[in-house]
């Protein structure tokens, strides 16, 4: 359901009772529909807010531009990060959900823009599930991520995301005060059932800002 534009093509699905909101962020070439079923399964009581990336790369939607594989356009990343943060804030007003209970669930490019929301200090996320993320940029100073829980899922044989990239992102998030749980699987750049089960268990733990 998308009764409002808000600058992004998106889907909105309200939960049956007030609760947290999952911000679903697809990977390169995805759409606002890609992660809906996953969102419903990992946190059934959540609202679902799923925008489509605004950048067109050879017919594939992305959340920010890149100059080459793994080389990001940092100026565009900065602008797109702030634009996504505005979208989340405006959506909270329009759809009347609690802005203090927004959790990002992103895969690949979607995980990278979610990490950028965190490292840029936008303050729009109460937590995040980052699946196969990279370091989007190196912040000049550490943002205040105190009490922000973050789940990172990664593959030790990921051909697109070196292990060192994931480790560095965890360092940056932890340095800001976030509590990070890393789940490593032996495979590559794809979601596994084990990874999804671990993320689901993590999301549904009782001691969370959104529970």
Annotated active-site positions, please? 108, 158, 189
Nearest C-alpha neighbor of 211 from the set 43, 76, 26: 43
Q: Report the C-alpha gap between 25 and 50 in whole angstroms.
A: 6
d(C-alpha 77, C-alpha 45), whole Å: 31
Helix intervals (H) in 154-192? 163-175
Q: Are 44 and 13 in contact (CB under 8 A)?
A: no
Spatial contact of 201 and 208, defined as CB atoms under 8 Å apart: no
Using an 8 Å Cβ cutoff, are 92 and 115 in contact? Answer: no
């Amino acid at each position: 359901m998308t009764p409002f534009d808000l600058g992004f093509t998106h889907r909105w699905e309200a939960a049956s009772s007030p609760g947290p909101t999952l911000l679903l962020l697809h990977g390169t070439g995805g759409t606002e529909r890609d992660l809906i079923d996953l969102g419903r399964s990992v946190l059934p009581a959540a609202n679902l807010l799923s925008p489509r990336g605004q950048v067109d790369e050879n017919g594939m939607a992305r959340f920010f531009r890149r100059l080459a594989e793994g080389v990001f356009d940092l100026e565009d990343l900065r602008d797109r990060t702030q634009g996504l943060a505005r979208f989340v804030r405006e959506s909270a007003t329009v759809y009347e959900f609690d802005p203090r209970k927004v959790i990002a669930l992103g895969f690949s490019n979607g995980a990278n823009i979610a990490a950028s929301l965190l490292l840029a200090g936008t303050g729009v996320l109460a937590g995040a599930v980052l699946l196969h993320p990279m370091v989007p940029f190196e912040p000049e100073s550490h943002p205040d991520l105190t009490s922000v829980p973050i789940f990172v899922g990664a593959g030790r044989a990921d051909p697109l995301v070196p292990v060192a990239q994931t480790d560095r992102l965890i360092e940056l998030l932890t340095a800001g005060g976030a509590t990070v749980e890393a789940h490593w699987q032996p495979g590559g750049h794809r979601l596994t059932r084990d990874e999804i089960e671990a993320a689901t268990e993590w999301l549904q733990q009782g001691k969370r800002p959104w529970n």
